[in-house]
Amino acid sequence: MLLLSLLLCAVQETAAPAAPALAIEHVTLVSMEREELLADRTVLVRDGRITALGPAAEVSVPAEARRIDGRDRFLMPGLADMHVHVWDENDLFLFVANGVTTVRNMFGDPLHLGWRRRIEAGELVGPRIYTAGPIIDGRPPVWPGSVELVEPDEAKNVVREQKAAGYDFLKPYAKLSAEAYEALAVAGEEQGLRLMGHVPGALTIHDVLEAGQHTIEHLDGWAEAAQPGGGIRQLGFELESAAWGTVDDAKLGALAKAMAERGTWNCPTLVVLQKWAKGAEAAALLARPEMRYVTPAMKGFWDPTSPQSYLSTMPDAALEAAHAAHAPKQRAVRLLRDAGAGLLLGTDMGNPFVVAGFSLHEELVNLAAAGLSPYEALRAGTRDAARCMGASDEWGTLAVGQRADMLLLTANPLADVRNAARRVGVVLHGRWFAEEELRAELEKRAHAFEAR
Ligand SMILES: [Zn+2]
């Protein structure tokens, strides 16, 4: 694709064993291990890892190191978008340009395994990718390309195939039967692949908690379980949105406690339904500055005036119900925080107007507006995201030995989550990308799209 030659140079330089070290000096460190700022630190990076970190006076910087002045700057871990649907290679760069250094991809395909190889080899600039295998659904599946699991006996084979292919986790979906789902949960447990996904229509949220599902996406299944008259069966999308209007908050609180006890994570993805729009509202979204960096093909899938867009046939009532569900979902997020349950920062990017990278900063604002402190909101996309993936000793915090995925900022992100977008540059697996380089590459892409 449209890689800047300077990006290629950076790749070749750091891929070579003799790559110069990188030193960020005299910076205020936001390690994310706890809510604290450590003044006047120097961080040393070599071969993609943090090799030293401490008071600036105590860290000796090798002569050959590239030095970056960190005075009056803040250094925090790179962000993770924990719910993405990335199908367009262009989006990989948009993540990086927004400080998103890790993504969890929720509908996997060999395409993603190929990108992951190229990214790790330094041939492609993109975030570290965790990916589900193809969605596992009943028959007929909701989405083409899903794996159909009908016979419970087949679950073992489905898991074996996805594991052998290199996928990281399993994504159960809406039309699985209860028997098929249970068999999948058992097979996943036996073979070490976790279930992360939706609540199938044949089950309740309590069933999936019982089965040990590791994450629940979009607060799926919550509204049904929290109805005042007692739990009701899983609803289709529009009715589910409407059901959020009548939830009993005491029941939401009890669910949040159950999640905390079970160690179940929730990825609320509030931003995706905020973007459901038609008419003038959709036109305003399409006119936003970041839309210049989205490929024309993608915009074609989003624009509700195009028949390719799922918004084109969406009834207005569904849009209104989705927007009305925002406030009760925010209450659920706050209750999860109060209960000490695991929360993940994620967007459902790839859906209309949810632009790679840019949207993650909107979701940070959503989590803060729900009542999380800036530290808590940022943790959902750094330290806790890594914990959820069983990778706490690999990424998500700044410490010696961690992968060097970092954001250098002009303002304190613990004072306001919006400051996480005020970048001086991004360190991606040890490579430094100055903000000007990132912006220049974005502009180059925008001009190429405009010329089409
Ligand atoms: Zn999704």
Interval between CA 349 and ligand 1 midpoint (Å)? 7
d(CA 146, CA 393): 33
Higher pLDDT, 418 or 2: 418
Interval between CA 269 and ligand 1 midpoint (Å)? 8
d(CA 316, CA 400): 52
Confidence band, pLDDT 50/70/90 cuts, at residue 231 = confident
Query: What are the angstrom distances between the C-alpha of 15 and each of 8, 114, 211, 351, 399?
Result: 10, 18, 43, 34, 22
Burial of 255: CB neighbours in 10 Å, binned 0-12, 13-18, 19+: buried
Q: Given 3-state DSSP classes, what are the helix, strand and coil percentages for the chain, each rounded to the nearest 5? A: 45, 20, 40
Interval between CA 103 and ligand 1 midpoint (Å)? 12
| Residue 34 CB neighbour total at 10 angstroms | 9
Interval between CA 276 and ligand 1 midpoint (Å)? 14
Interval between CA 204 and ligand 1 midpoint (Å)? 19
- Which of 297, 295, 300, 205 minimizes the C-alpha distance to 255? 205
Interval between CA 369 and ligand 1 midpoint (Å)? 22
- Evaluate if residue 7 carries a pLDDT over 50: no
* Residue 343: strand, helix, or coil: strand
Edge-to-edge strands, sheet with 342-343: 169-170, 194-197, 215-217, 265-267, 342-343
Look up residue 96 and give its two tokens: 């990086």
Interval between CA 85 and ligand 1 midpoint (Å)? 6
Task: Determine the pLDDT at residue 17.
Answer: 42
Please report where in the chains the tokens 């509030």 appear, as a residue.
270
d(CA 196, CA 198): 7
Q: What pLDDT, in 10s, does the model give residues 272-288?
A: 999 999 999 999 999 99
Percent of the chain surpassing pLDDT 90: 91
Q: What are phi and psi of 331, to 5 degrees?
A: -65, -40
Higher pLDDT, 230 or 159: 159
- When pLDDT is averaged across residues 415-425 and rounded to a whole number, the result is 98
d(CA 371, CA 280): 30
- Evaluate if residue 13 carries a pLDDT over 80: no
d(CA 349, CA 82): 10
d(CA 414, CA 373): 8
Neighbouring-strand partners of residue 52: 44
Interval between CA 40 and ligand 1 midpoint (Å)? 41
Tally the C-alpha atoms within 13 A of residue 145's C-alpha that lie toward its C-beta: 10
Interval between CA 440 and ligand 1 midpoint (Å)? 30
pTM of this structure: 0.94
Interval between CA 335 and ligand 1 midpoint (Å)? 23
Q: What is the DSSP letter of 59?
A: P
Interval between CA 307 and ligand 1 midpoint (Å)? 21
| Residue 154 CB neighbour total at 10 angstroms | 16
Q: What pLDDT, in 10s, does the model give residues 314-346?
A: 999 999 999 999 999 999 999 999 999 999 999
Task: Determine the pLDDT at residue 333.
Answer: 98
Interval between CA 23 and ligand 1 midpoint (Å)? 38
Neighbouring-strand partners of residue 406: 77, 427
Query: What are the angstrom distances between the C-alpha of 125 and each of 32, 270, 342?
Result: 25, 28, 30
Please report where in the chains the tokens 């070579």 appear, as a residue.
16
Query: What are the angstrom distances between the C-alpha of 383 and each of 7, 51, 253, 359, 380?
Result: 28, 19, 24, 20, 7
Interval between CA 354 and ligand 1 midpoint (Å)? 11
Q: What pLDDT, in 10s, does the model give residues 39-57?
A: 999 999 999 999 999 999 9
Give the CA diameter of the chain: 70
- Which of 18, 157, 97 minimizes the C-alpha distance to 361? 97
- Which of 200, 205, 260 minimizes the C-alpha distance to 231? 205
Q: Is residue 95 a contact partner of residue 349, using CB atoms and an 8 Å limit?
A: no
Those residues with Cβ within 8 angstroms of residue 218's Cβ, 6 or more apart along the chain or in another chain? 83, 198, 267, 268, 269, 272, 348
- When pLDDT is averaged across residues 419-434 and rounded to a whole number, the result is 97
Interval between CA 256 and ligand 1 midpoint (Å)? 21
Interval between CA 84 and ligand 1 midpoint (Å)? 6
